[in-house]
């Protein structure tokens, strides 16, 4: 199932999963609660400023694709819930990792373990890596491993609900410092001198051979 969801739709799904796991007593969410969750200042990247109308439009799109639905369970007030569990049959731990990627963007396995633990217990990074492997092996994949960027020690993972993420091109190497440029220039000069000395030695050796050959002719 190829998603290609908009950023707002992914934020809504992430919030619905998050609130289901962290505050089940308040789940499903009213439109007002869901809008506040989307615009929350903590545990979100990038920050958003969605109106209730924005959320309604995105909910309609998600509903048409079977990813979220309206429910009146618990009273007459309309409330909303996600349908990922029904469609993808993912465990709570897998949903928690997926929600973190939806809410904060690409992260390392260590970051996911620390941040997703507020939703469900995660024993160690090995558990997170196993979950990521399952999500990457899904048909089609729900998560991808990003290429390691210069200066990064660990690889990051990204969700694929919006399609393949844009991977920034490798940054150009930093310009050498003045001291390093001087050393590089000196090294280049020494290399050129060594090459010239070698060439001169070869010429001298060739001349000596020619002289010895000429002497032999007159002896």
pLDDT tens-digit profile of 69-116?
998 765 678 999 999 988 899 999 999 999 999 999 999 999 999 999
The verdict on 88 and 128 lying in the same domain is yes
| Domain match, 137 and 219 both | no
CATH number at residue 134: 1.10.10.10
Determine phi and psi for 30, rounding to 5 degrees. Answer: -70, 165
Q: Is residue 168 part of a domain?
A: no
pLDDT at position 216, please? Answer: 72
Round to whole Å and give the CA distance between 212 and 208: 6
Nearest-angstrom CA–CA distance, 180 and 160:
43
* Res 49: pLDDT: 98
Going by C-alpha positions, the residue among 168, 14, 37, 149 that lies closest to residue 95 is 14
Evaluate whether residue 182 is within a structural domain. Answer: yes
The residues, ordered by sequence, that sit 6+ positions from 122 with a Cβ below 8 Å of its Cβ are: 93, 96, 113, 116, 128
C-alpha–C-alpha distance, residues 36 and 149, integer Å: 34
Three-state secondary-structure class, residue 158 = strand
Same domain? 52 vs 94: yes
Whole-number Å distance between alpha carbons of 65 and 63: 5
210, containing H or E segment: helix 178-218
pLDDT beneath 70, residues of the chain: 1-2, 73-75, 167-174, 218-219
SS3 53: helix
Q: Give me the pLDDT at residue 21, please.
A: 97
58 and 16: one domain? yes
Say what the pLDDT of residue 1 is.
Answer: 53
Together in a domain, 117 and 25: yes
How many folded domains does the chain comprise?
2
Evaluate if pTM is beyond 0.85.
Answer: no
CA gap 24, 4 in Å, rounded: 28
pLDDT of residue 2: 65
The whole-number pLDDT of residue 73 equals 60
Q: 20: buried, middle or exposed (CB in 10 Å: 19+, 13-18, 0-12)? A: buried
């Amino acid at each position: 199932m190829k998603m290609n969801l908009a950023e707002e739709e992914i934020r809504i799904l992430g919030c619905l999963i998050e609130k289901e796991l962290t505050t089940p007593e308040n789940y499903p969410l009213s439109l007002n609660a869901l809008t506040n969750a989307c615009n929350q200042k903590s545990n979100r990247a990038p920050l958003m400023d969605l109106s209730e109308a924005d959320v309604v439009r995105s909910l309609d799109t998600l509903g048409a694709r079977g990813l979220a639905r309206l429910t009146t369970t618990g009273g007459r007030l309309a409330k909303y819930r996600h349908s990922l569990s029904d469609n993808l049959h993912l465990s709570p731990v897998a949903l928690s990792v997926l929600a973190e990627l939806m809410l904060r963007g690409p992260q390392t396995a260590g970051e996911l373990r620390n941040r997703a633990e507020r939703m469900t217990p995660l024993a160690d990074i090995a558990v997170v890596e196993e979950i990521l492997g399952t999500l990457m092996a899904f048909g089609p994949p729900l998560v991808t491993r990003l290429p390691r960027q210069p200066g990064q020690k660990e690889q990051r993972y990204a969700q694929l609900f919006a399609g393949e993420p844009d991977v920034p091109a490798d940054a150009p190497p930093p310009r050498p410092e003045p001291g390093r440029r001087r050393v590089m220039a000196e090294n280049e000069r020494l290399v050129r001198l060594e090459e010239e000395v070698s060439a001169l030695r070869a010429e001298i050796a060739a001349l000596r051979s020619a002289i010895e050959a000429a002497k032999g002719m007159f002896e």
